[in-house]
Structure 1
Amino acid sequence: MEMNNLEESEDSCMLNKSMSESLNTDRATLEGYEAEEAVSQEQEGFLQHVSSQKTQFTDFDGKTSFGMSVFNLSNAIMGSGILGLAFAMSNTGIILFVFLLISIALLSSYSIHLLLKCSAVVGTRVYEQLGQKAFGPAGKVLAALVITMHNVGTMSSYLYIIKYELPLVIQAFLGLQEPTGDWYFNGNVLIIIVSIFIILPLALMKHLGYLGYTSGLSLTCMLFFLCAVIYKKSVIACPLNATHVEHAVYANGYNVSEEGCSAKLFTVNTETTYSIPIIAFAFVCHPEVLPIYTELRRATKKQMQNVANVSIFAMFLMYLLTAIFGYLTFYGDVDSEMLHTYNKVDPLDMLVLCVRLAVLVAVTLTVPVVLFPIRRAIQQLVCPGQDFRWWRHILIAVCLLVNVNLLVIFIPNIKDIFGVIGSTSAPSLIFILPSIFYLRIVPREKEPLLSRPKIQVALFASVGFVFMITSLSFMIVDWVTTGRNNMGGH
């Protein structure tokens, strides 16, 4: 009897052990299945994302070299803003201007670092998708609207330069002191012609990387512009100064002002309101960063950061030299569009004519590079995830150019563009959006909300909000109190 009980007890123990092992096995199997399913879902989402990128934008084979990427990003940084930097220096003084220029350059590099880190976390290199990951559909719409607003403003400033400089080039070629009433002196007609026959064909290219060649030519033209500005400092002793003609003396064949020929190290006036936005506007390239990163050969976060650092440093040097020599040529009389100031000295100067041609080529070739992110933003809002279609690619480009041309025809002057865009979309793209995306996207397990990196990023975002509110407030007050519609010397 005891033997039977003992055998039954052993059988019961073995049965319990077997059931326990079976349950453990089933539990492990279930956990393994859930883990595999989670990984499978994550991979599926990532693969869908890659597929979406391939069909919408590029083939992602990494065709663009490091050098071409630097050309493209430098070209995206450098633009019409370079023509307003001497004006900014004249209204801040040399010391304050240099401090602001260094600060904005460093902050731009840091914000690109935030963008690249967010991109690595979520596995996407589309700006609008970062907004989607951070705040859902509202974040996607916000990012697309800010990018569209900024790049439309940038395109407008480029076409504005064409509108006012191309008639002067034609006038100089014809040897006329004053333009006639012929159609080829009408800037509005000329920007339409340039948009149709030069900008539109380049904007219809499928891949942004191919524009690296035109970007190299554009940068070469701006380098020539810088050399001419440095040379002109040595031949123009002091600027024309119509506002102080009673103090004028005669020097180097031009009427100049003794009073206006001294450099200021530090100054603040009503025009300083526009100076800070102009500097910020000159460094915005963030909508182009992720598309260029996408097409970079053997792309890594470190390599793209190097592309950004090299581009920002190169443009910093160009900006600094252009501002210093432009300011020391015209001092307080420099216009917000510096090329126009040279026209006061000699409208038929051949060197200035060549500089105008170089700048016109540069800004014309930059417009298609700026148009790409706007088209991407529109596609992300209207038709996300859809395959590439040539008709849609062409239609968006045509509609954008038509609307920007209409905008430029009715804009009073370029300083309004610099001021408004530099006070709204520029701080959003440099400070605010990269920061709030970072705070939401980087997991709290990796970086707690009160960790040093996230506190630093939160402060970075607050600087952007303060910058935006302050700049806009001062500009609105300036518009209301002075009612100025004649800014920029045009």
Structure 2
Amino acid sequence: MAQDPGEQLLLEDATDHHDTLLHHLVTEHGKSDLRAAFFNMSNSILGAGIVGIPRAFRNAGLLTGLVLLALLAVVNDWTLRMIIVNTKLSGAKTYTGFVSHAYGDLGKTAILLAQGLFGFGGNVGFAVIIGDTIPHVLRSVFARQVESFRVVDFLLARNTLIVLCITGISFPLSLTKDIGRLAKASGIALVSMSVILLIVVFRGPAMPADVRGQVSGAGWFVEPGIFQSISVISFALVCHHNTTFIYDSIKKPTLDRFNRVTHVACALSGVVCGVMGVSGYLAFGPKTKGNVLNNFPSDDWVVNVARLCFGLNMLTTYPLELYVVRAVVRDLLEIYHRREIPELSTAQHLLITSVLAGVPMLVALFTCNLGAILELVGATSASLLAFILPPLCFLKLTKMKPLGEKIPLYLCIAFGLCVMVLSSTQTILSALRSTDDDHCVV
């Protein structure tokens, strides 16, 4: 059924609130040159998912992992540029806007769920990372006290510190309604990623033989966990929900200028992920864990520097993601009630924030399997954001496109659906067969 133009306009206007929140995570007010736009996109891509890339190579095999990474970087580049084309075709300004324009309330609900689940799943992973980093650093620093005093041992235990860190730091930060303050608090992200990369590259080969593992046989070429590998790589590369804001931040934004930014950012991100994947997998082989830092001993002070940087970064990134997910919940409530909700009430704000902060924390108390979390988020929301919705909307917005030009779009959609189903199934079965000790710090 055709949608009334006035109703469609209201629907598109309603998407601005959620996307404006994302805008603050990507760019400052005003315009930036191509170098700054490239930095914004690279910083948006290279996040916590990078520590899972060695495990992705372990799941797929070294050669297959490299091929998949290269192919996904190219597809990522293509669909990022397709998002901007979709905004031009629809007249919308945002990702949410053009999906809503193409598919109405159903499309808006789909994109909101994809963005919300991506952020929520990311926070589950961040909570696990907090438990895999900060406790081991503190227990190493206060090793004697941990052995001598049961109270210190309890206070510095993994689950205790997860609860203390999230309820005492991340949750209060999440209650703020000024996202600008949160964005400033996350400035150590790039530094921590750089430190982690250097440590894996140079410290991994120096680990003792009993910690390391040897790549052999099929491990050099192809392993059966290909779709799980695709999910983790997809999670690491996805920044599609930020694309329109990076485009708008460019001085004299044009498709050609944006394409240059996208090509370089995707190529660089692919190279960085490749270095991390090859270095980590060659160092630890079949022992490679979902968080490659967990392969290093808990008392290695060099690695503990990286763990501390990474854990602190997660403490401030956690409320950033929660802020966006909370906005998604508000927008979904608008769709359900069929009316605009300018602002959540104080009780709603507190309740929703508590649930969104508490559930990921509870999950992290029972697992340190970061790989499975990255795989599930990558298989579901990342596939929707990167492989399914952009070509699906492009097909809708260009109805007269020749069949030959539609084939790559249909293939991309089919690929995303296959990843969603097969990878999720593989991940669940693999998680049921493995024990949590397979993924925790040695």
Distance 1:52 1:88, change over 3 A: closer
Aligned with 2:195 (options 205, 224, 227): 224
Please list the CA deviations of residues 136-171 of structure 1 after superposition, one character each: whole Å capped at 9, or x if unmatched. Answer: 212211221222222211111011110122211111
Measure the CA separation in 2 of the matches of 1:401 and 1:161: 15
Question: How much does 1:55 deviate?
Answer: 10
Q: Which residue does 1:374 correspond to in 2?
A: 325
Give the residue type in structure 2 aligned to 1:53: D
Q: Which residue does 1:317 correspond to in 2?
A: 271
Q: Which residue does 1:417 correspond to in 2?
A: 373
Aligned with 1:334 (options 288, 293, 302): 288
SS of aligned partner of 2:143: coil
Q: Which residue does 2:65 correspond to in 1?
A: 97
Give the residue type in structure 1 aligned to 2:434: R
SS of aligned partner of 1:348: coil
Question: How much does 1:352 deviate?
Answer: 1.1
What is the number of equivalent residue pairs in this alignment?
A: 423
Measure the CA separation in 1 of the matches of 2:57 and 2:48: 16
Measure the CA separation in 2 of the matches of 1:153 and 1:375: 13
Please list the CA deviations of residues 100-131 of structure 1 after superposition, one character each: whole Å capped at 9, or x if unmatched. Answer: 11111111121111222222222333433333
Contact 1:63 1:209 in 2 (8 A): no
Question: How much does 1:289 deviate?
Answer: 2.9
Q: Which residue does 1:427 correspond to in 2?
A: 383
Give the residue type in structure 2 aligned to 1:382: L
Q: Which residue does 1:124 correspond to in 2?
A: 92
Distance 1:234 1:468, change over 3 A: closer
Distance 1:369 1:120, change over 3 A: farther
Please list the CA deviations of residues 152-195 of structure 1 after superposition, one character each: whole Å capped at 9, or x if unmatched. Answer: 11111011110122211111111359775634223333233333
Q: Which residue does 2:52 correspond to in 1?
A: 84
Q: Does 1:483 align with 2:438?
A: no
- Residues 450-489 of structure 1 mapped to structure 2, 5 A cutoff: 450-476=402-428, 478=430, 483-486=433-436, 488-489=438-439
- Residues 62-461 of structure 1 mapped to structure 2, 5 A cutoff: 62-63=29-30, 65=32, 70-176=38-144, 182-200=153-171, 203=174, 213-236=184-207, 238-240=209-211, 260=214, 264-269=219-224, 271-272=225-226, 274-290=228-244, 292-293=246-247, 301-343=255-297, 347-383=298-334, 385-387=340-342, 391=346, 396-411=352-367, 413-440=369-396, 442-444=397-399, 448-461=400-413
Question: How much does 1:203 deviate?
Answer: 4.3
Distance 1:155 1:56, change over 3 A: closer
Distance 1:335 1:473, change over 3 A: closer
Distance 1:273 1:49, change over 3 A: closer
Question: How much does 1:388 deviate?
Answer: 5.2
Contact 2:288 2:295 in 1 (8 A): yes
Measure the CA separation in 2 of the matches of 1:74 and 1:261: 30
Please list the CA deviations of residues 322-368 of structure 1 after superposition, one character each: whole Å capped at 9, or x if unmatched. Answer: 1122122222222222111101xxx3221011111122133333334
Give the residue type in structure 2 aligned to 1:149: L
Question: How much does 1:429 deviate?
Answer: 1.6
Distance 1:302 1:487, change over 3 A: farther
Contact 2:94 2:244 in 1 (8 A): yes
Q: Cα RMSD between the aligned structures?
A: 3.6
Distance 1:333 1:485, change over 3 A: closer
SS of aligned partner of 2:220: coil
Structure 2, unpaired ranges of 5+: none
Give the residue type in structure 1 aligned to 2:411: L
Q: Which residue does 1:4 correspond to in 2?
A: none
Please list the CA deviations of residues 285-310 of structure 1 after superposition, one character each: whole Å capped at 9, or x if unmatched. Answer: 22333455566666555555555444
Give the residue type in structure 1 aligned to 2:272: M
Distance 1:176 1:274, change over 3 A: farther
Give the residue type in structure 2 aligned to 1:457: L
Measure the CA separation in 1 of the matches of 2:145 and 2:202: 24
SS of aligned partner of 1:424: helix
Q: Which residue does 1:248 correspond to in 2?
A: none
Question: How much does 1:469 deviate?
Answer: 2.7
Contact 1:175 1:348 in 2 (8 A): no
Contact 1:64 1:209 in 2 (8 A): no
Measure the CA separation in 2 of the matches of 1:471 and 1:154: 17
Measure the CA separation in 1 of the matches of 2:39 and 2:114: 24
Please list the CA deviations of residues 64-107 of structure 1 after superposition, one character each: whole Å capped at 9, or x if unmatched. Answer: 64566555543442233222211222333322111111111111
Distance 1:191 1:124, change over 3 A: farther
Measure the CA separation in 1 of the matches of 2:369 and 2:68: 24
Measure the CA separation in 2 of the matches of 1:326 and 1:52: 41
Measure the CA separation in 2 of the matches of 1:47 and 1:144: 17
Please list the CA deviations of residues 428-451 of structure 1 after superposition, one character each: whole Å capped at 9, or x if unmatched. Answer: 2211111112211x243xxx1435
Distance 1:239 1:79, change over 3 A: farther
Q: Which residue does 2:16 correspond to in 1?
A: 53
Measure the CA separation in 1 of the matches of 2:281 and 2:18: 48
Measure the CA separation in 1 of the matches of 2:171 and 2:182: 13
Measure the CA separation in 1 of the matches of 2:189 and 2:376: 25
Q: Output the TM-score relative to the length of structure 2.
A: 0.81
Measure the CA separation in 1 of the matches of 2:145 and 2:60: 34
SS of aligned partner of 2:412: helix
Give the residue type in structure 1 aligned to 2:422: T
Q: Which residue does 1:25 correspond to in 2?
A: none
Question: How much does 1:319 deviate?
Answer: 1.2
